Amino acid sequence: MKKLVAGVKGAAKRAAVGVVVAGASVAAFAQTSSSSTVVVDVSSTVSVISGVVSAVTAIGAAVLSVVVVAWGYKTVRGFIGR
């Protein structure tokens, strides 16, 4: 029973820390502006993400080709019996 109570107290502490961190995160990302409309230029972010997509695609194709070559080698080796 003591272990259960200690576990509940530890969980309550972790939950309290989580609430504090979430509150700090909201405060950090909150934008204050005197005007009612906020315009954010995202064109540079979009161009960077577009560049990353092509790199991820190239890496994925390379990994897939290595897997196919290894599978083919294993299959042919099984046919030959070595």
Residue 14: closest CA among 22, 4, 2: 22
Q: 19: how many CB neighbours lie within 10 A of its CB?
A: 10
12-63 pLDDT per residue, tens: 777 777 888 787 777 666 655 555 566 778 888 888 888 888 889 999 999 9
pLDDT at 9 over 70: no
Assess contact for 31 and 38: CB atoms under 8 A.
Answer: yes
Q: Which amino acid is at 53?
A: V
**pLDDT the model gives residue 2:** 57
pLDDT at 65 over 60: yes
pLDDT at 74 over 70: yes
**Overall size of the chain counted in residues:** 82
